[in-house]
């Protein structure tokens, strides 16, 4: 019976050794350490040319042209988990049926060259009050809506396809299409706005210069009907964007560990309106004090009575807890004694079965050796 014996031996070996799982894929959710390490050894000199259209309320259509140098041949993986991925072009050729799993876009090695590469991707990203990389804030005081990006700590790949790891810094240029009455601010100075028109009225295209190398989570822009406040300094003016309709008389610059921090002071008319509301509230508080003055003493007496009742209940509860605790301790000791006896009995049975298994295995070993000798 050579086959059954060999099969039994293999099955027993599999039970003892177990099954080893495969390695994690680089295309899994998030940016794994393995993926970040592989890209850091493969990619150099990254540049992003970004374009966003901010004329829709709940989403933004965009394109990114990523330029980078490859020093190690292989698939190139970009991160993206926005709303929708569009056309992909690699080094001037359309990439048909791109490999995209909702978290990463994989560019096959056959489309990539060692040296300079250009990848252009169109996409759609979400605009929302929360849970998006472009945040929409509705201000109840002026009825306006303001947009700003929030990419920290790892949401740049929710905004656009990129190498979303801090050590792959990139130079970034930004182009934004927005309503002409909006102000737009980004990482770099604006080159020149260009007016136009579309289905959403008069539009303006804002083109911003190239940044120094920055990590993806630092890429930022804000857009909306902002007002502007400028602080004059001895070197370069500091321009601040504030909500529409708010006005400030002065801008003070405070120093903290050598850095300048702006402090705004509202105009007197706005402060006067606030002070008037505060005075009205204080008058109402004084009226309530007069109305309930005689009832406060009675309430204090009632509170003292309730405190006494609560202390009595607390003492009774503590005594009951001690009684229950003693009862539980006795029951635990009884159960522990029973379990100890059961464990002794189980251990004895296990020892008997282990001896029987050892004898069976020895018998199988002798049978297997006999068959091997007979075969030779």
pLDDT, tens digit, 9 for 90 and up, residues 191-245: 876 666 555 568 899 999 999 999 999 999 999 998 777 665 555 666 677 776 5
**What confidence score (pLDDT) does residue 251 get?**
56
pLDDT, tens digit, 9 for 90 and up, residues 127-178: 999 999 999 999 888 888 999 999 988 899 999 999 999 999 999 999 999 9
Neighbours of 177 (CB within 10 A): 21
With b for 16 or more beta-carbon neighbours within 10 A and e for fewer, the 20-33 pattern comes to eeeeeebbeeebee
Token pair for residue 293?
A: 């003055």
Q: What is the mean pLDDT of residues 31-47?
A: 95
DSSP 162: B
With b for 16 or more beta-carbon neighbours within 10 A and e for fewer, the 327-340 pattern comes to eeeeeeeeeeeeee
Distance of CA 107 to the CA centre of its chain: 25
Q: Which residues contact 25 (CB under 8 A, 6 or more apart)?
A: none
* Contact yes or no for 179/201 (Cβ under 8 A): yes
Residue given tokens 């996409």 in the structure block: 123
pTM of the model: 0.60
pLDDT at residue 324 is higher than 80: yes
pLDDT, tens digit, 9 for 90 and up, residues 52-74: 999 999 999 999 999 999 999 99
pLDDT at residue 349 is higher than 70: yes
Token pair for residue 49?
A: 């040319």
Q: Which long-range CB contacts under 8 A does 237-245 form with residues at least 24 apart?
A: 238/262, 240/264, 241/183, 241/185, 243/139, 243/141, 243/142, 243/144, 243/146, 244/142, 244/144, 245/141, 245/142
Measured CA to CA, the distance from residue 288 to residue 301 in angstroms comes to 20
Q: What is the mean pLDDT of residues 363-367?
A: 87
- Across the strands, what pairs with 205? 177, 194
* Contact yes or no for 224/166 (Cβ under 8 A): no
pLDDT, tens digit, 9 for 90 and up, residues 175-194: 999 999 999 999 999 987 66
């Amino acid at each position: 019976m050579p086959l059954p014996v060999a099969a039994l031996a293999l099955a027993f070996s599999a039970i003892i050794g177990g099954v080893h799982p495969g390695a994690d894929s680089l295309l899994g959710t998030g940016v794994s350490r393995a993926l970040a390490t592989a890209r850091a050894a493969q990619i150099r000199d990254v540049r992003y040319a970004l374009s966003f259209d901010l004329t829709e309320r709940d989403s933004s259509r965009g394109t990114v042209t990523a330029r980078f140098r490859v020093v190690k041949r292989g698939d190139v993986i970009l991160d993206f988990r926005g709303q929708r991925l569009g056309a992909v072009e690699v080094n001037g050729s359309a990439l048909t049926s791109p490999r995209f799993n909702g978290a990463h876009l994989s560019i096959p090695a056959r489309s990539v060259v060692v040296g300079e590469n250009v990848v252009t991707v169109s996409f759609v990203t979400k605009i929302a009050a929360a849970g998006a990389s472009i945040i929409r804030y509705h201000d109840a005081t002026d009825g306006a809506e303001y947009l700003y990006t929030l990419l920290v700590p790892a949401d740049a790949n929710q905004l656009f396809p990129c190498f979303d790891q801090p050590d792959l810094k990139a130079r970034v240029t930004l182009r934004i299409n927005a309503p002409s009455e909006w102000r737009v601010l980004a990482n770099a100075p604006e080159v020149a706005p260009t007016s136009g028109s579309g289905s959403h009225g008069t539009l303006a295209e804002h083109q911003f210069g190239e940044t120094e190398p920055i990590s993806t989570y630092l890429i930022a822009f804000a857009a909306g009907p902002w007002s502007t406040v400028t602080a004059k300094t001895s070197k370069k003016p500091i321009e601040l964007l504030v909500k529409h309709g708010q006005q400030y008389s002065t801008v003070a610059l405070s120093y903290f560990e050598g850095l300048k921090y702006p402090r705004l002071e509202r105009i007197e008319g706005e402060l006067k309106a606030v002070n008037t509301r505060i005075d009205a509230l204080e008058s109402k508080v004084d009226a309530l004090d007069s109305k309930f003055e005689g009832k406060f003493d009675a309430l204090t007496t009632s509170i003292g009575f309730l405190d006494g009742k609560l202390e009595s209940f607390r003492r009774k509860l503590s005594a009951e807890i001690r009684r229950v605790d003693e009862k539980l301790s006795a029951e635990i000791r009884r159960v522990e004694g029973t379990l100890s006896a059961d464990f002794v009995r189980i251990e004895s049975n296990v020892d008997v079965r282990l001896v029987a298994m050892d004898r069976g295995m020895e018998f199988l070993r002798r049978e297997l050796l006999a068959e091997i000798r007979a075969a030779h």
